[in-house]
Amino acid sequence: MHLYAREALALATEIKKVWQRRGWEGLPTVLFPPFLYLREIVALFSGDTVAVGAQDGYPGQFGAYTGEVSMAQLADSGVRWVLVGHSERRRYFGEESPILREKVQSAQAWGLSVLYCVGETLEQRQAGETFTVLRQQVREVLEGLPIKWEGFALAYEPVWAIGTGHNATPAQAQEAHAFLRELLAQMGAPADTLPILYGGSLKPENARELFAQPDVDGGLVGGASLQAPSFTAIAEALLQTP
């Protein structure tokens, strides 16, 4: 929940200029602005390889769900992606597996690609429950659904490393990503090619080391995405990764 309309549009415009100037049109990029600014930013990137996504969506098409925005309405607005299961939705809004499963299914039914987020808290990590939590979050939401894998990506958000002063090491990130990739393979997903992004306080200072890990395919960028220079620096780090 950041930026006013003018600031959000200025940021998106600057990102568009940088991507065009540097010839980064082939770099898979999705921007997730607040609901209010979606149409304007979708229009800005019309015909562009940079996609626009929503930070959340409600299952279904229409109904008496005051304050919600449906997956159908998002698709109608030109949005191509939607975040599901972000750690803040889980923490502040109590979203658990049943509603997240509905969201994934509804989003794909309306033609939206899904970036599904998973991750453990500090207490869960200290208790040695990281893999148990990740397995539960993946299986309870995805198993048995007719997932269109070409329109799906996974993000690992170690909640304990977001705004806490704790940092995930590249080795810790790799361990979690490798576990998730193997888990997806067991479920019949094309795990070798499925993007698994890292989303725990990613910034220019740590991006290069994290992206160098074999199972870290990119980033779900938080606060560093609110400034074009830091967002650009993270993109550069990804492009320079062998």
Q: Tell me, what amino acid is at 97?
A: S
172/178 Cα distance (integer angstroms): 10
76/63 Cα distance (integer angstroms): 16
40/122 Cα distance (integer angstroms): 38
Is 223 a known ligand-binding residue?
Answer: yes
How far is residue 22 CA from its own chain's centroid?
24
79/126 Cα distance (integer angstroms): 38
Catalytic residues: 86, 157
Is 222 a known ligand-binding residue?
Answer: yes
In the block, which residue shows the tokens 């769900």?
A: 65
Is 57 a known ligand-binding residue?
Answer: no
143/66 Cα distance (integer angstroms): 30
In the block, which residue shows the tokens 């626009």?
A: 52
Is 23 a known ligand-binding residue?
Answer: no
The answer to whether the beta carbons of residues 116 and 153 sit under 8 Å apart is yes
87/170 Cα distance (integer angstroms): 20
First to last CA, the chain: 34
The structure tokens listed for 62 are 């229409």
The answer to whether the beta carbons of residues 229 and 209 sit under 8 Å apart is no
Binding residues for substrate: 163, 201, 222-223
